[in-house]
Amino acid sequence: MSFNPLVIREDFPIFSRTIRDGKRLVYLDSGATSQKPQVVIDAEVDFYRLHNAAVHRGAHQLAEEATDLFEGARLKIARFLGAEVDEVIFTKGATESLNLIAYAMGNAASGNRFHLKAGDRILVSQMEHHANLIPWQQLAARTGAELVWFDVTPEGRLDLSQIPTLITASTKVVALTHQSNVLGTINPLDEIVKAAHNVGAVVVLDACQSVPHMSVDVKKFGIDFLAFSGHKAVGPTGVGIMWGRRELLEELPPFLTGGSMIADVTMTSATWAPAPAKFESGVPNMAQVIGLGVAVDYLSAIGMDSIAAHEHVLTSDLLTKLLSVEEIKVVGPHTMDSRGGALSFTVEGIHPHDLGQFLDSQGIAVRTGHHCAWPLTRSLGVPATTRASLYLYNTIEDNDALMTGIHSAMKYFRQ
Ligand code: PLP
């Protein structure tokens, strides 16, 4: 089946509404959250209408149906990521997944491979979203480990020349974004993963901006942990994935404790169930998990390679158009080499918030601000940027609407 964004748009009920007094909705904010196809909305509603019961507990038909749907979603997501089914942990979102890993490492006792102490290093980068920075800052503060980071080059890439000085025998964790939510840069994994594993460090990949947009195979990447959010991948809010290699999950202590995650409990102690249960205490976000299973089915049926190819064409088109205007400065790579569809820019003489508001008046939804990457924004020497982020349902017409909107804003704010 050939890829047609106009046909895809029909699957998303939101595109049948208008915005700002009858204008066509130009949604260029999928980096913040994606829109949802009807099948995902139906899956959540059907769960509550027809199957609602607590999974893994009740001895009745509804509980059985709910459990089958819930575990069926785990299997779909495992296949989607090239993972083993018991390596897929459901969380509330990527932020929780990354906190889970960092807090669990902080709970590791001496002798456990995840135990960190003064003299150990945690490596991040200057382009991290706060969700993949602050949990590591906190872990460093709790354990005495040192937080170090890759700088970002003026072109918006990681400075790989720092690998030998940053990845040393003291490095225990390398936590990196796969694709920057601000710059659109897709980071090279091979060299970093190899250097990390050579010194025995684990690699945690923040795949929030890559899993929705390209084929991601955890085994091929050779990474150790991965996090993403369902809501950026046409799935529901309130569900995310923490994936970890099985042998690492066995050694990683739990984060949240309580019901469902135990093997045995006495009045003074408890032992843990194996993963994934060890990391999923309490009644989980069942409807959202089931919705995410349907979301990955939806993306898989279209094909992640087709989605990536479509976004490549759209990104290249918008990048060329933005770069052709002298007053616009694009932050992040100016070529399509290892670059995804998050395009952040400034327009001379217009504050990004004013631009965002003006574009909104034209029915164009973009994001403005520091995009939860304050250290990166500061390093770029700007107070904020405007970001257009593209997805499978966007079209060249959307890009043109954005360019027309920017030109109108330039006239409006300069008159
Ligand atoms: N990491 C990256 C690169 C992101 O873009 C985001 C969300 O914007 C997150 C982490 C956090 O995701 P969530 O807010 O869904 O937990």
181 lines ligand 1 (CB under 6 A): yes
pLDDT confidence band for 415 (50 / 70 / 90): low
pLDDT in the model for residue 154: 95
Distance (Å) from CA 349 to ligand 1 centroid: 30
Grouping H, G, I as helix, E, B as strand and the rest as coil, residue 329 is strand
* Ligand 1 pocket mutation, candidates 129, 130, 216, 371, criterion most atoms within 8 A of CB: 129
pLDDT at position 2 over 90: no
User: Over the stretch 105-135, which tens digit does the pLDDT of each residue have?
Assistant: 999 999 999 999 999 999 999 999 999 999 9
Strand partners, 181: none
Which of 102, 372, 373, 388 does the annotation list as catalytic?
A: 372
pTM as predicted: 0.98
Tell me what percent of the residues of the chain surpass a pLDDT of 70: 100
pLDDT in the model for residue 414: 84
Instruction: Give one DSSP letter per residue of 78-147, joined into a string.
Output: HHHHT--GGGEEEESSHHHHHHHHHHHHHTPPTTSTT---TT-EEEEETT--GGGTHHHHHHHHHH-PEE
Contact between 409 and 350 under an 8 Å Cβ cutoff? The reply is yes
| Separation of alpha carbons 211 and 295, rounded Å | 12
pLDDT in the model for residue 140: 98
Grouping H, G, I as helix, E, B as strand and the rest as coil, residue 29 is strand
CA of residue 67 relative to chain centroid, distance = 26
- In angstroms, the Cα distances linking 112 to 200, 248, 262 are 13, 11, 20
pLDDT at position 136 over 90: yes
| Ligand 1 atom index nearest CA of 179 | 3
Burial class (CB in 10 A: 0-12, 13-18, 19+), 4: exposed
* Sign, Cα dihedral of 404, 408, 409, 414: positive
132 lines ligand 1 (CB under 6 A): yes
Could you state, in order of their start, the residue ranges of all structural domains in the chain? Answer: 5-30+303-413, 42-300
Q: What is the 3-state secondary structure (H, E, C) of 344-359?
A: EEEECCECHHHHHHHH
pLDDT at position 17 over 90: yes
Residue 189: CB atoms within 10 Å: 17
DSSP state of 158: B
Q: What's the average model confidence in pLDDT over 166-190?
A: 98
pLDDT at position 47 over 90: yes
Task: Give, in words, the CATH class of 5-30+303-413.
Answer: alpha beta
Tell me what percent of the residues of the chain surpass a pLDDT of 90: 98
Query: Which tokens sit at 279?
Result: 């990391």
Q: What's the average model confidence in pLDDT over 87-92?
A: 98
Q: What's the average model confidence in pLDDT over 354-369?
A: 97
342 lines ligand 1 (CB under 6 A): no
Contact between 230 and 288 under an 8 Å Cβ cutoff? The reply is yes
Cα 407–413–415 angle (5° rounding)? 100
Contact between 101 and 254 under an 8 Å Cβ cutoff? The reply is no
| Separation of alpha carbons 68 and 189, rounded Å | 35
102 lines ligand 1 (CB under 6 A): no
Distance (Å) from CA 31 to ligand 1 centroid: 9
pLDDT in the model for residue 207: 98
Q: What's the average model confidence in pLDDT over 243-260?
A: 97
| Mean pLDDT computed over every residue of the chain | 97
- Please indicate whether residue 208 is annotated as part of the active site: no
| Ligand 1 atom index nearest CA of 177 | 3
Q: What's the average model confidence in pLDDT over 327-346?
A: 98
pLDDT in the model for residue 1: 59
| Separation of alpha carbons 39 and 297, rounded Å | 10
* Sign, Cα dihedral of 264, 270, 271, 274: positive
Query: Which tokens sit at 77?
Result: 């997501």
pLDDT in the model for residue 57: 81
CATH entry, 42-300, from 3.20.20.100, 3.40.640.10, 3.40.50.2300, 3.40.50.300: 3.40.640.10
Q: Tell me which residue has its CA closest to atom 6 in ligand 1.
A: 208
pLDDT in the model for residue 58: 77
